[in-house]
Structure formats: structure tokens, C-alpha cells
């Protein structure tokens, strides 16, 4: 079933869903099953699986020169999605990015997903690679998530890249896209970012998942701004609990978001790691309860490998 159908079927009840990362290369699928076995009691109708493109690393050679090597640390997104659907009978949402893909590779990836019966996709651009100061698309690849949405929507109309394909089998993907309550860091301003998000929806996206935020007002203001701009699809809040003190700086640096003053003070007051974690969990529970009370369509938790913490939050909110 499509994510949008799950949301419609819930008739205003707030759903719960989770996002998992593929294990590091060499790791086992059991790690994912262990995470999800513990979270299935919350009956998530869908599970997202992130996509990680190859990164460059530099290895020092005996000569002193550095060798640039490309490695993919977390492959397996599509296989994990298929395994999740098979084991739990819940829908899986693979993340698909522009970075590292030519348009033809994208088309082939979508054909694989379609043949596997996976008909949800979160369409993203991806970030710049380490050691690159901006996002660089493949020569024959997409520059923006909008272009990826257009390609998927085209396939939903039976449009393939090879123009000799007449009456191509239409796919039936439900397309999700990312939204940024605190603006995407590269966008010149909030209004411009909103306009680009609107274009993704007009091109065929059926719902939006937000970047994490720690101040619910940012989400509510974002939803209002989207509605005022004519974006009428469901907007799913993305939530991540802060669990370590260093994240007070690491989260804003990595995700370009602000942490509310009251929250920062609470974390700074905490005496040890355990106390910080407790503050983070309680904050996320309070956020979740308020979002649920306000009728958010779904609470989407970024697990980032920390099942125990996310489980405590989901239990308190259920």
C-alpha cells in the first residue's frame, strides 16, 4: 500500500513510522531485524530505509602520495526493503537520491523496485560528498530532487527514457519528498525553498517528510506556510531524540537546525550521559505528544541505530 493511502486510511489518527540505516558493509541483516523486531509492536505501516552513496577516502601510499578511492559504506537499501516487506508484511520506503546516479541508472533502479512490488519511494537529491564543497550531479544525472520526481512521475505514466518504448508498462509509485521547516541550508531564503518544495509536489510528490526539528512551532509554522503557498499534501514530521551532549553542536552543524534555548539549558544542566539521554527522551516525548494532539499525520522517528531510545519514546506516546 502507498504511504498516502496509509495516511488516508488512518482517518486523522496519528501513525508511527521509523527510518533505519543499512548496516555498514560486512554487517549483517540481523542487525536491522533486531532493531525492527523491537519496534513492530507499534504497528508502523511503513519503514524508511536510507540510501548512502559512495564516498571518497584518501589512503596514504608508502611513497607518501595519497590515493583517492571510492567506497560505499552502507549498500543494500533495496535488498533491505525487500527483506522488510517479506518478513514483516509492512511497506518499505527506499530512499532514492540523485547523487551518484545517471538518469538511466535511476530508471533501472526504479524498474527493480517496481518488479519487487515496492511502490513507495522518498525522492531526494543527496548531499555533497566529503571533500566536495557542493553537490555535484553525475554528468547524465539529476541536479535537483525535482528532476527525480519528474522522472518517477513520468514512469508512472509509462514514460521510459528509450523513446522507442511505446506503451511502456506504467509504474505506480507513491513519491515522498523532503521538506525543511527551518529552510534547506543552500536555499537563498525560506520563500524560495518553499517554492521549490511546491514544484516537487506539483510534479507528483504525494507527501512531505520534514527534516528533524526540536521546536514544534517550527513544524506548525512550516505547515501553515505550505498551506498558504498551496501545498496541500500530508506533511510528516521527522523526529530524532538528542542523546549525547556533543550533539548540541553536532546536530546544528550537520542538519542546519536550531535547538531551543530551554532545551539547550536542560541538556547543559545534565550531570552525566545518562541524564542527557533522559532529557533528550523526555523532550522528544513531549514533542511527539503535542504533534499527535495537533493531528500530525504520522510521527516519523529517525532511529539511527538507537532502538532502545526510540522504543521508550514510542511506548510513552502510544
CB nearer to ligand FAD: pick between 187 and 229: 187
- Identify which range of 10-18, 110-118, 185-193, 215-223 contacts ligand FAD by CB under 6 A: 185-193
Is 240 buried (19+), middle (13-18) or exposed (0-12) by CB count in 10 A?
buried
Task: Decide if residue 95 touches ligand FAD (CB under 6 A).
Answer: yes
Q: Distance (Å, rounded) from C-alpha 178 to C-alpha 235?
A: 9
Task: Decide if residue 126 touches ligand FAD (CB under 6 A).
Answer: yes
- Identify which range of 103-111, 141-149, 243-251, 267-275 contacts ligand FAD by CB under 6 A: 141-149
235-236 vs 238-239, strand pairing mode: unpaired
Q: Where are the beta strands (DSSP E) in the chain?
A: 15-20, 46-49, 55-60, 66-71, 91-97, 120-124, 174-179, 207-210, 235-236, 238-239, 298-302
CB of 70 to ligand FAD, least distance (A): 15
SS3 92: strand
Please provide the DSSP assignment of 112-130 as one string. Answer: HHHHTT--EEEEE--PPPT
Task: Decide if residue 145 touches ligand FAD (CB under 6 A).
Answer: yes
CB nearer to ligand FAD: pick between 211 and 309: 211
Q: How many other β-carbons are positioned within 10 Å of the β-carbon of residue 126? A: 21
Task: Decide if residue 125 touches ligand FAD (CB under 6 A).
Answer: yes
Query: Helices 103-115 and 145-156, interaxial angle, to 10°?
Result: 50
Cβ-contact 57, 69 below 8 angstroms: yes
CB nearer to ligand FAD: pick between 53 and 159: 53
- Identify which range of 68-76, 111-119, 122-130, 218-226 contacts ligand FAD by CB under 6 A: 122-130
Task: Decide if residue 127 touches ligand FAD (CB under 6 A).
Answer: yes
CB nearer to ligand FAD: pick between 211 and 307: 211
> What letter would DSSP give residue 293?
H
Q: Distance (Å, rounded) from C-alpha 118 to C-alpha 45?
A: 14
CB of 167 to ligand FAD, least distance (A): 31
CB nearer to ligand FAD: pick between 235 and 276: 235
Task: Decide if residue 178 touches ligand FAD (CB under 6 A).
Answer: yes
Binding residue for ligand FAD, selected from 238, 241, 280, 297, defined by CB under 6 A: 238
Binding residue for ligand FAD, selected from 146, 174, 235, 299, defined by CB under 6 A: 146
Q: How many other β-carbons are positioned within 10 Å of the β-carbon of residue 103? A: 17
Q: Distance (Å, rounded) from C-alpha 279 to C-alpha 270?
A: 8
Give the x-and-dash track for 27-66 against ligand FAD (CB under 6 A).
-----------------------xx---------------
Binding residue for ligand FAD, selected from 87, 159, 184, 198, defined by CB under 6 A: 184
Question: Rounded to a whole number, what is the distance in angstroms from the first to the last CA of the chain?
Answer: 23
Task: Decide if residue 198 touches ligand FAD (CB under 6 A).
Answer: no
Residues that bind ligand FAD (CB under 6 A): 50-51, 95, 97, 124-127, 144-146, 178, 184, 186-187, 193, 196, 209, 211, 238
Amino acid at each position: 500500500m502507498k504511504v498516502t493511502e496509509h495516511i488516508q486510511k488512518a482517518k486523522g489518527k496519528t501513525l508511527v513510522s521509523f527510518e533505519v540505516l543499512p548496516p555498514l558493509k560486512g554487517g549483517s541483516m540481523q542487525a536491522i531485524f533486531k532493531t525492527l523486531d523491537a519496534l513492530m509492536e507499534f504497528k508502523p505501516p511503513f519503514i524508511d530505509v536510507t540510501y548512502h552513496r559512495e564516498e571518497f577516502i584518501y589512503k596514504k601510499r608508502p611513497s607518501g602520495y595519497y590515493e583517492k578511492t571510492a567506497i560505499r559504506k552502507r549498500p543494500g537499501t533495496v535488498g533491505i526493503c525487500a527483506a522488510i516487506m517479506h518478513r514483516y508484511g509492512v511497506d518499505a520506503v527506499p530512499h532514492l537520491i540523485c547523487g551518484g546516479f545517471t538518469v538511466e541508472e535511476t530508471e533501472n533502479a526504479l524498474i527493480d523496485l517496481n518488479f519487487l512490488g515496492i511502490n513507495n519511494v522518498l525522492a531526494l537529491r543527496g548531499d555533497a560528498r566529503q571533500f566536495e564543497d557542493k553537490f555535484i550531479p553525475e554528468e547524465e544525472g539529476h541536479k535537483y530532487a525535482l528532476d527525480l520526481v519528474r522522472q518517477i512521475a513520468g514512469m508512472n505514466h509509462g514514460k521510459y527514457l528509450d523513446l522507442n518504448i511505446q506503451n511502456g508498462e506504467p509504474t505506480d509509485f507513491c513519491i515522498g519528498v523532503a521538506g525543511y521547516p527551518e529552510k534547506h541550508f543552500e536555499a537563498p531564503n525560506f520563500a524560495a525553498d518553499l517554492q521549490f518544495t511546491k514544484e516537487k509536489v506539483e510534479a507528483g510528490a504525494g507527501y512531505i517528510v520534514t527534516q528533524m526539528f526540536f521546536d514544534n512551532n517550527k513544524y506548525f509554522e512550516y505547515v501553515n506556510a505550505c498551506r498558504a503557498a498551496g501545498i496541500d499534501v500530508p506533511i510528516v514530521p521527522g523526529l530524532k531524540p538528542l542523546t549525547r551532549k556533543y550533539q548540541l553542536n553536532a546536530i546544528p552543524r550537520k542538519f542546519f537546525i536550531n535547538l531551543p534555548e530551554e532545551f539547550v539549558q536542560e541538556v547543559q544542566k545534565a550531570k552525566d550521559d545518562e541524564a542527557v539521554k533522559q532529557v533528550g527522551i523526555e523532550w522528544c516525548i513531549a514533542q511527539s505528544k503535542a504533534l499527535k494532539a495537533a493531528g500530525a499525520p504520522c510521527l516519523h522517528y529517525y532511529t539511527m541505530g538507537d532502538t532502545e531510545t526510540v522504543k521508550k519514546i514510542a511506548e510513552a506516546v502510544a
